[in-house]
Amino acid sequence: MMCGSPLDYLDQAEEMVCTFCGKQEQGHIKCPRGHFVCDACHNKDAVKIIADIALTTELTDPFAIADLMMDNPDLPMLGCQHAHIAGGALMAALKNRRPDKITGQSIKEVFSRIDKQAHGGYCGLTGVCGITPAIGACFAVLTGSRCGKDREQKLVMEAVTQVSRVITDLTGPSCCKAYLWAALSVAVADLKENFAIELPDREGILCSYSRKHPHGCREDKCPYFKPDSGGSSGDETNLSGKVGGLLKRAVELGAEQAKIIDTKTVIVTEWVRWKCQYGSQGAKQKAVRPQMEACGIDVFETARLNGFQIDTKKETFGKWNYFALVLLE
C-alpha cells in the first residue's frame, strides 16, 4: 500500500486515519505497520488517468482500451480501479461506435455511479466485485434504466447477473485482471445480442501479471494463465550456464519477460544487408552481420514474431514498453 508490506484484510471494520489526507473512516484493509489509505486517495491518480483515456481515445475495441488503462505502471495488481477500467473501456468503445447514444457526459455519469458501489476489498466482504456494478452502470446509462422502469431495468439486471456468474467461476482467490477480461467479454456478447451493437471481442488472452498477484495466481485454473507469465519459461529458466542466469537476472532487474529467441526471427530489412556488405571483407558471403546502430531491425515484426504484444501508441500518457535485444555468440 505504502511501505510495500503485505496487507492485512480484517474481518471487522476498524476506525482508521488515512495516511495521506488524514480522513478518519471505517476500514477493512491496512498494513502491519498501521498504514491506511482511504478509497478516495487510493484511487485518485489511477482513476484520473483512466478517465482521461476513456474521454480521449478513438478506439472502439474495449479490450485495447483496457490495455491502455492497465499500462499505467502505478496501477495496483488488485483494486477497484479495475471497476473504473471496465466501465471506462466499455463506455469509451460505445461512445466511439455509437456517438448518437453515448457521450463524454455518459462516461462521467458511469464513473460517478461506480464511485458509489465499488469499494476496495468488498468482493470478499459482500461477495460483490466492483466490476459487476460498473458493467451494470454502463448498461443502465445505455438503456436509460432507473428504479421503476420495466424492460430497461431487466436488461441491466440480466447483464449484471451474467457478469457476476463469470466472476464467481474465476474466484479462488480473486483476480481483478481475470474479472475484467471476462466481464468485458460478457458485455460485448450482450450488446450484440440485445442491442445489435457490435464491438470487438478478444479470444486467446494470455496474462502477463501472474507473478504480481499478492495472494498467488490461480495458474492452471485460470483461462488466461500462461506458464511463462511475468518471466522466462520453465525450459529457459532451467538452462544451464550463463544464458539461464542472464534470463533470471533480467527479470530480477525489472523486466516483465525475458526469453531466448532464434536469430532467424530477428527481422532485418534488406537495405541493412547492403550497407553491411559495402566495404566489408565478407561482401561476397550471404551471412553478414547486421549493424544494430543502423536501426535496420524491424522491432515490431521481431517482437510479434516472438510472442510479444507491441502496438503504436496514439496517446501521450500511460505506460511505454521497452524492448531490448542481447546478441550472444
Q: Is the pTM of this model over 0.75?
A: no
pLDDT of residue 181: 97
Asked whether residue 160 falls in the same domain as residue 65, the answer is yes
Asked whether residue 201 falls in the same domain as residue 85, the answer is yes
Q: Which of 90, 141, 89, 149 is nearest to 112 (CA)?
A: 141
pLDDT of residue 267: 74
pLDDT of residue 231: 42
Asked whether residue 179 falls in the same domain as residue 278, the answer is no
Q: 3-state class of 82 per DSSP? A: helix
Asked whether residue 240 falls in the same domain as residue 193, the answer is no
| Structural domain total, the chain | 3
Whole domain around residue 16: which residue ranges? 1-37
Q: Which of 162, 142, 161 is nearest to 152 (CA)?
A: 142
Q: 3-state class of 74 per DSSP? A: coil
- Does 325 reside within a domain? no
Asked whether residue 168 falls in the same domain as residue 60, the answer is yes
Asked whether residue 74 falls in the same domain as residue 176, the answer is yes
pLDDT of residue 254: 79
End-to-end CA distance of the chain: 44
Asked whether residue 16 falls in the same domain as residue 159, the answer is no
pLDDT of residue 281: 52
Q: Which of 115, 135, 234 is nearest to 179 (CA)?
A: 135
Asked whether residue 65 falls in the same domain as residue 190, the answer is yes
Distance CA 188, CA 169 (A): 18
C-alpha cell at 46: 489511477
- Does 322 reside within a domain? no
pLDDT string in tens for the chain (329-residue length): 455 567 788 888 889 888 767 888 898 888 877 788 777 776 667 888 899 899 999 999 999 999 989 887 778 899 999 999 999 999 999 999 999 999 999 999 999 999 998 888 888 888 999 999 999 999 999 999 999 999 999 999 999 999 999 999 999 889 999 999 999 999 999 999 999 999 999 988 989 888 888 888 999 999 999 775 444 444 444 444 566 677 777 877 878 778 777 776 777 665 555 555 555 455 444 455 544 445 577 787 788 777 777 777 777 777 777 888 887 76
Asked whether residue 299 falls in the same domain as residue 176, the answer is no
C-alpha distances in Å from residue 256, one per residue of 8, 125, 210, 253, 316: 27, 32, 10, 9, 22
Asked whether residue 153 falls in the same domain as residue 181, the answer is yes
- Does 317 reside within a domain? no
